[in-house]
Amino acid sequence: MERKEKIIQFGEGGFLRGFVDWMVQIANERTDFNGSVVVVQPIKDGLCDTLTKQGCVYTHLCRGKEGVDIKKIDVISRCVKPYDDFDGYMALAENKEFRFIVSNTTEAGIAFSENDKKEQRPAATFPGKLTQLLFRRYELGLDGFVFLPCELIDKNGENLKKCILQYSKLWNLGCGFEKWIEEKNIFTNTLVDRINTGYPRDEKIELDFDDKMVNTSEYFHLWAIEGYMGLFDELPLDRCGLNVVLTDCLDKYRTIKVRILNGSHTSMIPYALLEGVKTVGECLQNEKLSAHLASCQREIIASLDSDRAENEKYAEQVMVRFSNPYIHHLCQSIALNSVSKFKVRVLPSILDYERKFGNPPRALLLSFGKLIRFYKHGTPNDSEEAMQRLKNGTVEEILSDVTLWGQDLSRFAKEVEEYANS
């Protein structure tokens, strides 16, 4: 079937191919969306040549305790490389059928640089390249796009728009262009959640063609979009059995993910490394660690003000994801920058639990103690300042250090010290 090119995708890596493109494939199969994706390679060296050589078709495998689902993905119509063919890239602005722009250019990708110039072919940054394309679209008198950025930063759509308007000022593109950005484009904030495990390098998987771009992920997926009411009329992902959510506020979904998923990791990992456990999967097979994780999750859920049943369901999904036999997630890699992670992911649960119940949560304080012990006797990987403060300070000094936690936590010193010394 001939499909219309409806989506411009900045990024050809495993995540977008195993998330957005996988969803578009399902939408094409189960609805009348009938759309294809044009991939833009946002950096000079990438995977587009390999993808093009095999007709932009590849295999995606969802794998987990649920089983294995193999799907051939053929939604990408072509690849465009701005560094090799800038004119071909700019020509994308001429196609009236394009409606959506998706991206995943890493957390550092949505950034403004005063060194970018309008005359560059292309501009260095992703928002700079995008501004070049949008200005051409504006000059042609066409409507703009709906932006669905997948970068893992808060308010990703708002920040992308802010960068584009900064480039408009820097490059003197004019008030008319800025008005067009505001009125003819929609910048949504989104939250994505899926572990993508990429190319299975150490495995031999039997497929019906020599696929150099085979991609793997877990089954679980969530795309929460802070968007307009008619979004799913244009992009019918909600009619495909996919876990997509249209909301007027992402805060609830972000809080649940950070507290339950990321907080579970962070509350468990230092303890696991002290016990000599190497992977997340092994943590769930360890009776002591799995019991500790379950206790932490109960306290995290109790600390939240959102729907308890919904949070418990998500926690169950997290446990299934952690025990995925196809994912070998090293505890040592998760331990990177554990102090700042603990402050963002676990400390809010401790404080909210204390606020609600009048006493601190014991399992999460145990995690706090194990964090300190890990920095004193384990193999932490953090800023030199954080490592020295935790290694050399007493528990009370560490907890009262406002530079680490943003507040004085010395009231927890007695319980935390007990756990730090055990």
pLDDT tens by residue, the chain, 422 residues: 689 999 999 999 999 999 999 999 999 999 999 999 999 999 999 999 999 999 999 999 999 999 999 999 999 999 999 999 999 999 999 999 999 999 999 878 999 999 999 999 999 999 999 999 999 999 999 999 999 999 989 999 999 999 999 999 999 999 999 999 999 999 999 999 999 989 988 888 889 899 999 999 999 999 999 999 999 999 999 999 999 999 999 999 999 999 999 999 999 999 999 999 999 999 999 999 999 999 999 999 999 999 999 999 999 999 999 999 999 889 999 999 999 999 999 999 999 999 999 999 999 999 999 999 999 999 999 999 999 999 999 999 999 999 999 999 999 999 999 999 98
Token pair for residue 345? 């992911």
Burial class of residue 343 in the structure, from the number of CB atoms within 10 Å of its CB (0-12 exposed, 13-18 middle, 19+ buried): middle
HSE, side-chain direction, 13 A CA sphere, residue 284: 16
What are 1's two structure tokens?
Answer: 């079937």
pLDDT at position 1 is: 60
- Give the pair of three-digit tokens for residue 228: 């307009």
In 199-242, beta strands by DSSP E: 215-217, 222-226
Report how far residue 298's alpha carbon sits from residue 311's, in angstroms, rounded to the nearest whole number: 10
* pTM for this prediction: 0.91
Q: Where are the domains of the chain?
A: 4-247, 252-420
Encoded tokens for 327: 């994912």
Cα–Cα distance between 150 and 103 in angstroms, integer? Answer: 6
Sequence-distant (≥ 6) Cβ neighbours of residue 202 within 8 angstroms: none
SS3 state of residue 295: helix
Residue 286 token pair: 């360890």
Can 4-247 and 252-420 be said to share one CATH topology?
Answer: no
Q: For residue 322, what pLDDT is reported?
A: 95
Q: Give the tens place of pLDDT for each residue, 268-293.
A: 999 999 999 999 999 999 999 999 99
221-225: Cβ within 8 A, 24+ apart: 221/19, 221/23, 221/193, 221/194, 222/191, 222/192, 222/193, 222/194, 222/253, 222/257, 223/19, 223/23, 223/190, 223/191, 223/192, 223/193, 224/190, 224/191, 224/250, 224/253, 225/148, 225/188, 225/189, 225/190
Cα separation, 217 vs 210, whole angstroms: 19
Compute the chain's Rg from CA coordinates: 23
CATH class of 4-247: alpha beta
Of the candidates 122, 116, 98, the one whose C-alpha atom is nearest the C-alpha of residue 42 is 122
Domain 252-420 adopts which CATH fold? Answer: N-(1-d-carboxylethyl)-l-norvaline Dehydrogenase; domain 2 (1.10.1040)
**From the DSSP assignment, how many helices (H) and strands (E) are in the chain?**
21, 13
